[in-house]
Amino acid sequence: MKFLLALLFVSTLANPVFSQPSQRALGDYTVFTIPFQGDSITFAVVAKKGELTQRKPIFLFRQGSLPIPLFTINPKTNRPALTELPATCYDHEAEYYSIMIAKPGIPLIVTDSYLDTLFSSPSAPKTGMYPKAYQSRNYLDYYVDQTNAVLRFVLSQPWADPKRVVIAGGSEGYHVAIKTAYTNPQVTHLIGFSGNLDGRFQSILRTERMKGYTGEYTQEEAQRRVEALQNDWVALCRDSLNTSATEGDPNRTMYSFSHGHNPDFLLALTIPVCILYGTADVGATSNDVLPLAFARRGKTNLTLRAYPNHDHTFHKLTYDASGKVIGKFHNGAAVEKDYFNWLSQH
């Protein structure tokens, strides 16, 4: 716990303020820090020192929720690795510069034991104890503005090919990627996965309702829980800009990721769009309706891929005769290969 608290204490140093862009080598990566809104943004490019010479397209990936550091130290190699970058990105280093952006107010690099403590330990802090620098910036428009600032900087560099700019994101990153593509005309391809089309709170609502059909709740209990959530939403809307919380995400975080405009954003796009999700991820099945909306508009730029019996993180589930989950294996690499194959065809 002392180790965790020490990291959280220094987290305000994770994104120091810089008046000028800077870059440094970090293992197999080049790390940039650029000024942003009186603060700074740190991001990493998968390219060793001296490798940013060849002109290549950009693949920018936005990770999911939670204050996960950009890098962890691999205990086997004692070298840093991007914590959440899709592993398949490394198979495409010859084709793309892959980029990830650090979460605000979070240590840039930690050991694996930090993540174990953060998510597994009984003494792990509640989410309301996360650093204020993270909580106050942890909302959709901040991440969209942050992503656009990084793209502006990157696309001004001689090593970036602006003819092909891919924005990809999963879960929370699904929402960030969609709105970034909507607001940034330099984005040429969009990949989004494991996100609720309608929003985060709507996903929670849908999941609670579904439990009344799976037998986890009675229909009456499901209805009580749905009504409680509806009341919670009314209260949240009265204080939607609040960035403090003792448990769970602050109101501003939840409100921003529950905006409900994703269908409009997607339908406004003319670039190739690929949306992927598992059918066991109840909230993400809201994407089922996208082909209907695109067809109604006569639009043909959508590719939709659903993975039967896959959950939010693309673990393929197996069930017993009663419908209880009895096994799972991670199939994320196959999903990553699917969207990179899609990219090669569009």
Question: Tell me: the pLDDT tens digits for 100-145?
Answer: 999 999 989 987 666 665 655 454 455 556 889 999 999 999 999 9
The structural domains of the chain, with segments of one domain joined by +, span: 2-193, 200-250
Q: Residue with structure tokens 């059918």?
A: 279
C-alpha torsion sign, points 129, 133, 136, 142: negative
Q: Residue with structure tokens 């089922």?
A: 288
Question: Tell me: the pLDDT tens digits for 59-104?
Answer: 999 999 999 999 998 777 888 999 999 999 999 999 999 999 999 9
CA 333 to CA 344: how far, in whole Å? Answer: 17
Fold of 2-193: Rossmann fold (3.40.50)
Question: Tell me: the pLDDT tens digits for 32-69?
Answer: 999 999 899 999 999 998 899 999 999 999 999 999 99
CA 279 to CA 309: how far, in whole Å? Answer: 6
Q: Residue 153 — pLDDT band, cuts 50, 70, 90? A: very high
Q: How many CA atoms lie within 13 A of 18 on its CB side?
A: 15
Check pLDDT > 50 for residue 8. Answer: no
Task: Tell me if residue 93 falls in helix, strand or coil.
Answer: coil
- What angle do the packed helices 219-238 and 200-214 form, to 10 degrees? 170
Beta strands in 158-256 (DSSP E): 160-170, 189-193
CA 151 to CA 153: how far, in whole Å? Answer: 5
